[in-house]
Amino acid sequence: MTIFGGRVRLSALGLIAGALTLGAAAHAGAQDRDSVKIGYAVSKTGANAGGAAITTIPNYQLWLDDVKKNGGLELPDGSKLPVEVIEYDDRSSAEEVVRAVERLATQDEVDFILPPWGTGFNLAVAPLFDRYGYPQLAVSSVTDKAPEFVKRWKRSFWFLGGGADYTDALADVLKTEIEAGTINDKVAMVSVADGFGIDLVTAARESFADAGIEVVYDKTYPVGTTDYSPMINEASSSGADTFVAFSYPPDTFALTQQAQIADYNPKVLYLGVGTGFPVYGKNNGENAEGIMSLGGIDPNNEQNQVYRKRHEDLTGQGPDYWGSVITYASLQMLQEAIKRVGLDREGVAEELASGTFETVLGETKLEDNQLRKLWWVGQWQNGVFAGLAPADRPGASKPVLPRKPWQKQ
């Protein structure tokens, strides 16, 4: 089945794909084409489905709805072409996402390919995007190697920063609280053994050491882990006031629940992907207050408020407080680049690299194919996941620590 409806077919890869046409009829003679063909592979099932269903898929829906209402994608001559969408479920398998992206490029011959969800999957398909000449808008991907990847894959674009950006900012927040006497200088840390977790924990070890923060517990766990109680118990007995988990959504939710069961109450609780999901705040209520993670928003930013309402009105759910708005902004950039230079992929890549765009983020310009104006640390405050760092960024909130103990629900 497809996200947007339309006919359904089963591919030889065993992936689910669908195609439909969005927008008004093609403008006569518009590059002698009837449509613009856009494809993507994303995790609709499997372990990654939760993250993709919050951050990626709804924003593809919202953007495609915008394109339809606009009468299609506008080209430099002012004509517009409807969009034909081909989608595949990568089933949360790295092998499947690679096969699907290769099929989109070689068999479906799509004009543009949108990225999958997740750091590991974006890294897995990056060589294919490069080989076949497609711009890669790697939004849901955190990696310190982005500058290196840009040199290797010149049409790749990285929108969520690197691990050190987040861990340096977290270390600064912790150091300030340590100096204020709010917490001690010890951290217990766990991380998922995948691209995201490896990148973050590697950076964190150096960030904490530079800040004079002692890591007294450092444990890596495999993808698919469900019982975190041994790690929670060991962290609890470590003497650390701060617990940090570089976790994926299923882990983040499970760690939260199991920490409550164990009555583990670190003064600072920092968890990974999923913390900024609206459902996380809804499920945990008052117990979400004070929990920290990557990302955040300025609660008073009017552009973000309008975007969030449109997102919820169309998809029936709120966007997350980190990658959602950036995903949508990246698609706005793609649309505007096509309007400026047409459907030439090389030209679009060059425009993305050098151009300035008006997006829901405001004026947006990439630096060496990377988005650098981001919220590095956020915290649940009064029912909103607010950005804390950079502290000098307009709209930044101040940390509220120590975190209150779990409340009985």
Of residues 409 and 379, more confidently modeled = 379
CA-to-CA distance for 403 and 237, rounded, in angstroms?
A: 18
CA-to-CA distance for 28 and 23, rounded, in angstroms?
A: 14
Give the pLDDT score at 286. Answer: 96
Q: Confidence band (pLDDT; 50, 70, 90) for 19?
A: very low
Domain 163-298+376-389 belongs in CATH node 1.10.760.10: no
Tokens, residue 241: 């006031």
Q: Confidence band (pLDDT; 50, 70, 90) for 12?
A: very low
pLDDT digits (tens, 9 = 90+) for 298-325: 999 999 999 999 999 999 999 999 999 9
Superfamily of chain region 7-161+301-365: Response regulator (3.40.50.2300)
CA-to-CA distance for 218 and 49, rounded, in angstroms?
A: 28
Q: Does 18 have pLDDT greater than 60? A: no
Rounded mean pLDDT, 278-301: 96
CATH 3.40.50.2300 in the chain, residue ranges = 7-161+301-365, 163-298+376-389
Give the pLDDT score at 25. Answer: 35
CA-to-CA distance for 345 and 324, rounded, in angstroms?
A: 24
Give the pLDDT score at 11. Answer: 38
Q: Is 32 helix (H, G, I), strand (E, B) or coil?
A: helix
Rounded mean pLDDT, 270-275: 97
Q: What is the mean pLDDT of the chain?
A: 92
Give the pLDDT score at 14. Answer: 39
Query: pTM to 2 decimals?
Result: 0.87
Rounded mean pLDDT, 223-251: 97
Rounded mean pLDDT, 272-296: 96
Give the pLDDT score at 383. Answer: 95
CA-to-CA distance for 170 and 190, rounded, in angstroms?
A: 15
Give the pLDDT score at 1. Answer: 29
CA-to-CA distance for 330 and 91, rounded, in angstroms?
A: 24
Nearest to 87 by CA among 149, 207, 1, 155: 1
Q: Does 254 have pLDDT greater than 60? A: yes
Residue 244 CB burial class (10 angstroms; 0-12, 13-18, ≥19): buried
Q: Confidence band (pLDDT; 50, 70, 90) for 2?
A: very low
